[in-house]
Amino acid sequence: MDFGMRNRLNKIFNPDTGKTVMLAVDHGYFQGPTTGLRNFKQTVDPLLPHADCLFVTRGMLRNCVDPKTKTSICLRVSGGPSILGELSNEDITTSIEEAIRLNASGIGMSIFVGAPNEDRTIANLGRLVNEAERYGIPVLAITAVGRDMARDARYLGLACRIAAELGAHFVKTYYCEDFYKVVEGCPVPIVIAGGKKIPEMDALKMTENAIKEGALGVDMGRNIFQSDKPVGMIKAVRAIVHEGATAEEAYKIYEKE
């Protein structure tokens, strides 16, 4: 791995701990003005200093993020369908040149294993890795879930492994029972998405379990920005990821905010 690739990965994964708290705020790329992100700047500005990396689309980055930020950027580069369409019908929407121009430390796209367009999205991942490696840019593969697929270790393990085999440098997936089996079968770092908003304690417990079972961090959105105390919640998640706090200890941080 050359310097550029390693340097960018170190902007995403905090070199002090080898882990990352990514703040996912890309939801609008298919959901439009999602709850919590309608006024993007108002929500994201106070959270940004507490994230190692912001996962975002180019449009929101260009229009709503202060270029003075010290937080690194991972750019979502896939899209196409809205929430009303066939979600797996995604293509690459943002070029490598744009990612470089925006000083992205990484780029991310979804693969839809078990969905109508799985073959195209997986082939797109291979092509994106080919291009990104030319410029030393790490690629995050996001294992989106086919409508009828259970979010279990067998299915998520399949999707994560395929992503790694195709060359993804890190993978985002969901936490599930026997998550350690997903980690075991995937030779590249895994970060977990938070999924739908759940009670804060449950989200913190899930984070604690994921880290204990081998995740190297989170790329979390709704369970942070839809919380009644978003700053408290991201600080709590940080304490688990970077300091090994328990969910109970982290909950106190959330409450205190």
Contact status: 24 vs ligand R5P (CB under 6 A): yes
User: Shortest approach of ligand R5P to residue 47 CB, angstroms?
Assistant: 13
- Site map (CB under 6 A) of ligand R5P, residues 90-129, x = contact: ----------------------------------------
Longest dimension (CA), the chain: 47
Residue whose CB is less far from ligand R5P, 194 or 232: 194
Contact status: 28 vs ligand R5P (CB under 6 A): no
Q: Name the one residue in this structure whose structure tokens are 């190692």.
A: 52
List 219, 227, 245, 250, residue binding ligand R5P (CB under 6 A): 219
List 221, 234, 236, 238, residue binding ligand R5P (CB under 6 A): 221
Residue whose CB is less far from ligand R5P, 7 or 202: 202
Distance between CA atoms of residues 21 and 192, nearest Å: 10
Paired sense of beta strands 190-192 and 170-173, if any: parallel
Q: Name the one residue in this structure whose structure tokens are 């393990």.
A: 157
Q: Has 41 been annotated as catalytic? A: no
| Contacting residues for 117 by C-beta, under 8 A, at least 6 apart | 86, 88, 89, 90
Q: Name the one residue in this structure whose structure tokens are 């940004």.
A: 48
The one-letter code for the residue type at 208 is E
CA 220 vs. chain centroid, Å, equals 6
The one-letter code for the residue type at 32 is G
- Site map (CB under 6 A) of ligand R5P, residues 183-202, x = contact: ----------xxx-------
User: Shortest approach of ligand R5P to residue 191 CB, angstroms?
Assistant: 9
Distance between CA atoms of residues 174 and 191, nearest Å: 8
User: Shortest approach of ligand R5P to residue 3 CB, angstroms?
Assistant: 28
Residue whose CB is less far from ligand R5P, 19 or 27: 27
User: Shortest approach of ligand R5P to residue 221 CB, angstroms?
Assistant: 3
CA 42 vs. chain centroid, Å, equals 21
User: Shortest approach of ligand R5P to residue 224 CB, angstroms?
Assistant: 8
Q: Name the one residue in this structure whose structure tokens are 């417990």.
A: 205
List 13, 55, 170, 175, residue binding ligand R5P (CB under 6 A): 55
Q: Are 192 and 174 in contact (CB under 8 A)?
A: yes
- Site map (CB under 6 A) of ligand R5P, residues 124-163, x = contact: ------------------x---------------------
Ranges of beta strands (E only) in 39-119 are 53-57, 72-76, 78-79, 91-92, 106-113
**Which is catalytic among the residues 11, 19, 172, 235?**
172
Q: Return residues touching ligand R5P (CB under 6 A).
A: 24, 26-27, 55, 142, 193-195, 219-223
